[in-house]
Amino acid sequence: MRIQLLKCNVICSTRADMNTVTREFLIVIVAFTLLSGLMPQSTTIAYKISPESKVWVEGTSTIHDWTCGATEIKGTVELTFGTDMAPAISAAQVTVPIKKMDCDNSTMDRKLQKALKMKDTPNLLFEFESATTQDAAVADSFEVATLGYMMIAGQTRRITVTQYLTERVDGTIIFRGSFPVSMKDYGVKPPTALLGTIRTGNEVTVFFKFVLDPSRSNS
């Protein structure tokens, strides 16, 4: 009789312990499931840069200022949407064919193509590394400090670009900004004309407006 009672006590105790463990395990599973449902979900969307986008370069010379604009821009931008007010850039690459840079002057076009070594490196290229987003002074706009790599004439340099993000009512996202470029940093000799009597300045500024259209995304 004592043996049976002892055996029952052991078995009952073991079953009670197992039931306790099972209940605790179920509680953990339920809690994890509930928390997972409450955790913010993020979505990443890859956009193709819209034809509405613009890139242009402004520079100086010994006689007048000049501007060259890109008639073709290629690239993609990946944005991650979460609980933050602004989407975060997770990846980006922008390519501008040098052949598609138009200076409204055929002579300047040729000199620019030669200076940028178009035959060896036919594209201007920017590749994204990282970005930090914060509220901008302008209403409904966000300031995005972007780090990346700029390739010009076969030379690559790490640059910082400050751009501003806005979103239209239709969901279109726009990035605007500019950054300075020293041609000599990329081994580019500033173009000249008339036997060197007309010289362009070494410092230029690149301006851009990238339009990301929801209809041109992978969503």
* Cβ–Cβ under 8 Å, residues 94 and 125: yes
For 60-97, write each residue's pLDDT tens digit.
998 889 999 999 999 999 999 876 677 889 999 999 99
* CB-CB neighbours of 195 under 10 Å: 6
Pick the CATH number of 43-217 from 1.10.3080.10, 1.20.1250.20, 2.40.128.110, 3.90.1150.10: 2.40.128.110
Using CA atoms, how far apart are residues 45 and 76, in angstroms rounded to an integer?
Answer: 10
One-letter-per-residue 3-state SS of 144-169:
EEEEEEEEECCEEEEEEEEEEEEECC
Using CA atoms, how far apart are residues 202 and 183, in angstroms rounded to an integer?
Answer: 5
∠ CA 50-54-57 to the nearest 5 degrees? 155
∠ CA 165-171-177 to the nearest 5 degrees? 20
What is the torsional sign of CA 16, 19, 20, 21?
A: positive
Using CA atoms, how far apart are residues 159 and 128, in angstroms rounded to an integer?
Answer: 10
Which pTM does this prediction carry?
0.77
For 10-63, write each residue's pLDDT tens digit.
445 555 555 554 555 555 454 444 444 444 578 889 999 999 999 999 999 988
Q: Would you list the domain boundaries of the chain?
A: 1-39, 43-217
Q: What is the four-CA torsion angle of 146, 152, 158, 163, rounded to 10 degrees?
A: -20
For 143-174, write each residue's pLDDT tens digit.
999 999 999 999 999 999 999 999 888 889 99
Phi, psi of 196, deg, nearest 5 = 90, 0
